[in-house]
Structure 1
């Protein structure tokens, strides 16, 4: 076999492998709801990473269930008047492998703090872990996909 043909076959194989990995990385994209059905988030692609925005939640809307609360706990005074519904609160997630996403950050509107975040997709559920420092020092919340 000529060297040129061999190189072309290797390039095609690598490209196919990369496309296959890419399709699995997008498995996280969609609308998710907490197990307790008290919050919804949409996860989407933002450049080569993944982000999430708040769609609804019992802690981010007023008692009428519709009107958005404001981001009053944000340390940035310029952001305290923004609506919580629709904010991007999850940024920078990178797909690693086998349904694992790392290096993200998640904003907790109740405290006004950012936490490190990692996600694992398991059996159709999303296990989101927010933490400070190391994942062992964190909390995991399970989300279900809304179809």
Structure 2
């Protein structure tokens, strides 16, 4: 019995070492938007961060019955690209401790905004978009 407990304890320790916990300031992972209508996968792309739409609550366009596309994009050549798989971050780079800055694309209005991103807890990511000095944002939660 003691041998089985030791073996179980060793297996637990090995698993913990093999899968280290995410650092509190690590923005990578899959995040659920504040409205709960999309999941965004944030990953490192060289020195930058990439943010890609990987899931939509409503993946189909109710008007067309087809997969949702970037139809608000003012560039007509981009207006038919699917929302799932869409890259939202552009040039998002480290900008201090636990902060990243660059641009973020908003498919709801087809515009890109100056963006600031910070991890505000192990399971929360603050995402801001700014026009001039006016900024608005939301808090994304880590998807499980």
Alignment match, 2:120: 122
Does the CA-based 8 Å contact 1:29-1:44 persist in structure 2? yes
Matched residue SS, 1:97: coil
Query: Aligned Cα RMSD in Å?
Result: 2.5
- State the shift of 1:109 in Å: 1.0
Matched residue SS, 2:77: helix
Matched residue SS, 1:43: strand
TM-score (norm 2): 0.72
TM-score (norm 1): 0.71
Larger % of helix: which? 1
Matched residue SS, 1:129: strand
Return closer, same or farther for 1:80/1:36 CA change in 2, 3 Å cut-off: closer
- State the shift of 1:68 in Å: 2.6
Matched residue SS, 2:26: helix
Alignment match, 1:62: 61
The answer for unaligned runs of 5 or more in structure 1 is 1-22
1:93-136 Cα shifts (integer Å, max 9, x gaps): 1123332112x1111112111111101111221000011123xx
Choose between structure 1 and 2 for higher RCO, CA contacts under 8 A separated by at least 6 residues.
Answer: 2
The answer for unaligned runs of 5 or more in structure 2 is 1-21
Q: Distance in 2 between matches of 1:111 and 1:36?
A: 16
Alignment match, 1:93: 92
